[in-house]
Amino acid sequence: RIVVDERERKSGIPELLRAVGINMEVKTLPVGDYIVAPETVVERKSLHDLVSSVFDGRLFDQCSRLKEHFQFPIILMEGNVDEIEEITENPLIFYGAVSRVAIDFKIPIIPTPSATHTAKLLVSMCSRKEGQQGPFLKKIKKSNDIQKQQLSSLTSLPGVGEKLAIRMLEKFGNPLRVFNASLSELA
């Protein structure tokens, strides 16, 4: 279940989440855009918005408020970082601010190239169980036949049991095609 800030409706991401069957509650959040776990909030920013918030001073205030309300805030930076020099004449100031967020505030900044990839990342975050740590992948025995290896690979993913993994393999043929599938193809 994801709690979505009302102001995120126009981003198109809630529709992408709904299309893959994510249970959502839409309401106005005091901080952040998506609550993916009780102590985890995600602030989504386009690259342009992130640059603007650096130069108008909002970024550090937002980071303080995120840390005040949630134990694990995350900033998603949506867009192509290669365009940074087209957006600002001072990319070093931008990188300095982003470094401060990561180091001083201890808030990770995760880049995504598009709304579709942002939605995929949110689904992954939402399906992560509280307190779950370490690698998700199980050790796959090489002595197993290829289908058992493929099933083991898919069932290592959060929220994917054996029945769903079998259906995915029937539909896509192999794990690589599953991993590369769009949200609409997975629905």
CATH at 177: 1.10.150.20
Predicted confidence at residue 140, as pLDDT, reads 59
Q: In what order do the strands lie in the sheet with 2-5?
A: 24-27, 2-5, 34-37, 40-46, 72-78, 109-112
Residues 157 and 73 in one domain: no
77 lies in the same domain as 22: yes
CA–CA separation, 7 and 3 (whole Å)? 12
Mean pLDDT, the chain, integer: 88
10 and 55 in one domain?
Answer: yes
Residue 67 sits in a domain whose CATH number is: 3.40.50.10130
Non-local (6+) Cβ contacts of 85 within 8 A are 91
Domain span at residue 31 reads: 2-127
131: which 2 tokens? 């307190």
pLDDT at 153 over 90: no
How many domains in the chain? 2
Give 39's DSSP letter.
T
Which letter does DSSP use for residue 82 in this model? G
pLDDT band with cut points at 50, 70 and 90 for residue 6:
very high
Tell whether 91 and 177 lie within a shared domain. no
Q: Note whether residue 11 is domain-resident.
A: yes
Predicted structure pTM score: 0.68
- Please say if the pLDDT value at position 63 is more than 60: yes
Cα 8 off chain centre by: 15
Query: What is the model's pLDDT at position 143?
Result: 59
Instruction: Please check whether residue 116 lies inside any domain of the structure.
Output: yes
So what's the pLDDT on residue 156?
78
